[in-house]
Amino acid sequence: MDKVTRALILTVVAFFLFAGVAFGIETISLNQLIETAKVMDGKTVVVQGEAISEALERGNNAWVNINDGTNAIGIWLNREDANKIKVFGDYLNIGDKVKVTGVFNRACVEHGGDMDIHATSIEVVENGYPVKEKVPSQKIAIGIIFVVVTLMVTGFYFKIMKKPTS
């Protein structure tokens, strides 16, 4: 083999060997993480999802739940990182979208055997915002019709009940 071919082969092999380091750890969906929990236990993972509910503070740390649309999981992180999250998802808001790097625990000894991720870093990748819910006019019209029909049936019922029996 000539030198150019060897250099080309070495370059391609080196690229594939260090691709994970060069491009970082790939984000994994929560459903995929849970389905492969036995294999992923104790490994560093990167997950991304919407911060939901609220931060549950415990001393210098906090629990934050995230949902990526496939599943949800608890994230154990320090309070300072939890304070980076400004908006949590609920009925009135879409929560901040966060990217979490941390160690996945299939059955965390520290937290009573629960499945969780102990965060080493957290980044808010998209800010949350209020939900502007608009009720379609068809639903309002149907609701009004049901109320009117209910009032009419109730009126007929009381009218029949008041009639004296002979």
pLDDT tens per residue across span 84-124: 999 999 999 999 999 999 999 999 999 999 999 999 999 99
Domain-located, residue 116: yes
Closest C-alpha to 68, from 25, 98, 108: 98
Domain-located, residue 33: yes
Cα separation, 95 vs 90, whole angstroms: 7
Of residues 1 and 43, more confidently modeled: 43
Domain-located, residue 10: no
Instruction: Give the domain CATH number at 115.
Output: 2.40.50.140
Cα separation, 42 vs 83, whole angstroms: 26
> In the predicted model, what is the mean pLDDT of the chain?
90
Domain-located, residue 139: no
For 75-85, the pLDDT digits (tens) are: 999 999 999 99
pLDDT given at position 12: 59
Write down the pTM of the prediction: 0.71
The answer to whether residue 8 scores a pLDDT higher than 80 is no
Domain total for the chain?
1
The token pair at 125 is 């990748």
Residue 77 β-bridge partners: 62
Q: How do beta strands 129-130 and 97-108 pair?
A: unpaired
Q: Give φ, ψ of 137 to 5 degrees.
A: -60, -30
Per-residue exposure over 31-40, b if at least 16 CB sit within 10 Å of its own CB, e if not: eebbeeeeeb
pLDDT given at position 1: 61
Q: Give φ, ψ of 97 to 5 degrees.
A: -90, 125
Average pLDDT over residues 31-35: 96
Number of C-beta neighbours around residue 150 at 10 A: 10
Domain-located, residue 165: no
Domain-located, residue 11: no
Closest C-alpha to 74, from 35, 110, 109, 119: 119
Q: Are 136 and 95 in contact (CB under 8 A)?
A: no
Q: CA 45, 48, 54: angle at the middle one, nearest 5?
A: 110
**pLDDT bracket for residue 19 (50, 70, 90):** very low
**pLDDT bracket for residue 21 (50, 70, 90):** very low
* Residue 107 backbone class (left: φ over 0; alpha: ψ -120 to 50; beta: rest): beta
The answer to whether residue 17 scores a pLDDT higher than 50 is no
Domain-located, residue 150: no
Domain that holds residue 106: 20-130
Domain-located, residue 111: yes
Average pLDDT over residues 120-144: 95
